[in-house]
Amino acid sequence: MNKRYAFLMNADKCIGCRGCAMACKNFNRLEPSMVWRQVYPLAESIYPHRERAFYSLACNHCDDPACLRACPTGSYEKREDGIVVHHQETCIGCTNCVRSCPYGAPRYNAEEKHAEKCSMCRERIDAGLLPACVQACPVGALELVDLNTLNEPNAVQFPAGYPSMPRLNPATRFILPRMPRQIRGQS
């Protein structure tokens, strides 16, 4: 059976350190203004403490990628293992993909005049290595998993604050953050 690679984003473990996002820039040598992975603090309506719980998001490597359908030059490729690859060399920078992705994964690089996005470090996966972001997570909050064999009963596909797009069927799975019991001494 084929693999279907995905990111498992464990928001219970995530400490919002941004190491994943910086490791992505470091390995892929992104321009200062470009990010392929970003760490988003959850709104206080979802997690009541400001900037204390996060989703680390990059491309979700959808089953039926909107970017791929929107691209007029065939610059997107869906690999058998689920990874959605963008080919910068044929991209004409029309930004159809940027506008069609509900998760904001492809971004327009104004300097280079093309779109770009996370490729799940396929060149690393193909060499038997982990994606740079996964390797960089110091707490195991970001994992590379195979959805076809994933056995994680707490994993959810569409947590609060993350657009629910069943037709695209994004591969990313989430584990929700905990809330500690609190004793707040009064001043």
Q: Which residues bind other proteins (CB under 8 A)?
A: 12-13, 15-19, 21-23, 25-33, 35, 39, 49-53, 85-89, 111-113, 116, 119, 121-124, 126-127, 129, 132, 135-140, 177-178, 180-187
- CA dist 60 and 37 (Å) reads 10
Contact partners, residue 24, CB within 8 Å, separation at least 6: 30, 35, 36, 37, 58, 118, 132, 133
- Select 20 or 66, whichever has its Cβ closest to other proteins: 20
Amino acid at residue number 18 = R
CB of 164 to other proteins, least distance (A): 25
CB of 86 to other proteins, least distance (A): 8
Contact partners, residue 127, CB within 8 Å, separation at least 6: none
CB of 121 to other proteins, least distance (A): 8
HEC string of 28-84 equals HCCCCCCCCCEEEECCCCCCCCCCCCEEEECCCCCCCCHHHHHCCCCCEEECCCCCE
CB of 43 to other proteins, least distance (A): 13
- Select 31 or 64, whichever has its Cβ closest to other proteins: 31
Q: How far is CA 105 from the centre of its chain?
A: 8
- Select 27 or 158, whichever has its Cβ closest to other proteins: 27
CB of 92 to other proteins, least distance (A): 9
- Select 102 or 124, whichever has its Cβ closest to other proteins: 124
